A and B are shown apart, each in its own frame.
Chain A
């Protein structure tokens, strides 16, 4: 696919969509995607990911805002003239056409002759490593193979943007990893601008150059995987991406880079003000990831009682109940003989470093 145009840019400009039923599916979304980037659209089910994807593809006309591909505003173009390739979640292969005809379908629509179509289809099937399947019907292929065909079919029209809606949701775990690597490889070779919709944060973080986190139809954060994971801008992002303990507290003092917070669990800690200005005396929610907590000696940190311990392979997760009765999870790497913690043991916990505790103004 060296001949593909190096991937066109995509701008989603203040897009809002309200369904005729009245449901506000996406609200004022702004995305600026550079040519050749892989973007993940990450959010829980029902947050408007598919809606946004269908707006970009042209199946839904947004209520407000613009879609710009390359230098063109495409809002007036129907889907068949946008040159946007889509891989549907259920693959949507044409069941009555052979694999080769499926892949060549877009070329037939462009009036390309049969011999050329077949040659091109064969080339693409080799690209997705299914060279021997051309004459089969879709139902004679496994799920992973069908997905490769769907990908080849979308790439055949040399789209300027490739959209994938939950592409790995229907695959089992091992196959999923294979396909993730495969798609990343194809994307690198073709340099095509790619948008992957997913509700799986690991998938988003591992595959994308940048991740757009959506919650309830709004864009919560748009940044690199480490931005989103390490420097979440909202409480939603902090708790949705990766797991996180939410600990309520009160601000004792705060400036722009650090805040001293008294946790209800009974300790004073330094946290990073993550979501805007914090005022002294205001209630906050502090998020600390389980892997960013450590057991400490007497007098520091906050106290708790160990409940359950779950060995999860490389790590062990302990559930600790704090003084204010809330539960906190702490995960420890399993190095050699990890000290066995009995249920009911009294422990003290503290964050590994101030920058690893994020304080957000409590909303009520």
Chain B
């Protein structure tokens, strides 16, 4: 230990340099959060009477619970779609030449370079009654009446999946890139076919990336206010919009606060499941 007096343990450095960031978090994150908690613990809109009424109301109201349930389900669906579509892209990325890699990265990143609002409106153009999909199917004579794509769960999932795809693909590309390509060859020379190699070697070793991608995608999908509202229309209600209505339209700040806290806890629960899985899989990816 004492042999190297010049190099101090990193944890022993003064925390002074972190102070600006800490102050920023204190004022703009911790303080509002505490205020939210304080508000949610009042039974009346004027916030005069303490009580757990808002939470009781939410947890006994079938409508509120169904909004929470459908939001968490939406996140799961979007995450699943992103994983199923993103994994092959990431896998392909590691197996093509440098020029194609550049093109794939560009395609993956492109959504990030346009505004969410613009991308969402593009999906309205694609999914609408007179949209590209319906017009094509109709002119091909495959369908007679337009399909209802917009304002459906399906439409929201597809649009969100496209919007959040980079959050899944980028961690996957990183994780797959860390796997020694010789492992593929070693597995193959030992007699394993490509499916065995995939399920026994590639997938377990890419788990850290899968978990990181799922956590990011999930968190982003369930809180994606704009896309959820525009594609879902008035007919589908998810937590962010529900919250917004209670706060902005109905001015019921204590209930809105309670919704936020419950939503936050639900998201934290899901994310901690992911991270626990991540910790369990860390035994793997290390190499």
| Interface residue from B196, B204, B205, B285 paired with A109 (Cβ < 8 Å) | B196
Chain B residues near A86 (CB, 8 Å)? 185-186, 189
- Taking the closest CB of chain B, its distance from the CB of A160, in whole angstroms, is 12
How many angstroms between the C-alpha atoms of A105 and B190 in the bound complex?
A: 7
Residue of A nearest to B182 (CB): A92
Residue of B nearest to A138 (CB): B287
| Interface residue from B186, B200, B286 paired with A139 (Cβ < 8 Å) | B286
How many angstroms between the C-alpha atoms of A86 and B196 in the bound complex?
A: 18
Interface positions, chain A 147-183, Cβ under 8 Å from B, are: 153-154, 156-157
Chain B residues near A95 (CB, 8 Å)? 205, 284, 286-287
Interface positions, chain B 178-208, Cβ under 8 Å from A, are: 180, 182-183, 185-193, 196, 200-201, 204-205
> Number of residues in B with C-beta < 8 Å to the partner?
22
CB pair B190 A109 closer than 8 Å: yes
How many angstroms between the C-alpha atoms of A100 and B283 in the bound complex?
A: 16
- A78 interface hit (Cβ, 8 Å): yes
- A248 interface hit (Cβ, 8 Å): no
CB pair B192 A90 closer than 8 Å: no
Q: Is the interface of B mostly helix, strand, loop or mixed?
A: helix
- Taking the closest CB of chain B, its distance from the CB of A86, in whole angstroms, is 5
CB pair B188 A92 closer than 8 Å: no
Chain B residues near A215 (CB, 8 Å)? none
Q: Which 8 A-B pairs have the closest CB atoms?
A: A95-B287, A106-B190, A96-B284, A92-B182, A109-B192, A109-B191, A92-B186, A79-B188
Interface positions, chain A 94-111, Cβ under 8 Å from B, are: 94-96, 105-106, 109-110
| Interface residue from A82, A88, A96, A156 paired with B186 (Cβ < 8 Å) | A88
CB pair B191 A80 closer than 8 Å: yes
15 more CB-based (< 8 A) A-B contacts, given A88-B186, A110-B191, A138-B287: A79-B185, A80-B192, A82-B189, A85-B189, A86-B189, A88-B185, A92-B186, A94-B183, A95-B284, A105-B190, A105-B192, A106-B192, A153-B186, A153-B190, A154-B190
Task: Indicate the size class of the contact surface on chain A.
Answer: 20 to 34
| Interface residue from A79, A106, A139 paired with B287 (Cβ < 8 Å) | A139
CB pair B183 A92 closer than 8 Å: yes
Chain A residues near B191 (CB, 8 Å)? 80-81, 83, 106, 109-110, 157
Take A92-B180, A96-B204 as given contacts and tell me if A105 and B187 are in contact as well, using a CB distance cutoff of 8 Å: yes
Chain B residues near A137 (CB, 8 Å)? 283
Interface positions, chain B 196-243, Cβ under 8 Å from A, are: 196, 200-201, 204-205
Most buried by B among A59, A86, A109: A109
Chain B residues near A90 (CB, 8 Å)? 180, 182
Chain A residues near B201 (CB, 8 Å)? 94
- A57 interface hit (Cβ, 8 Å): yes
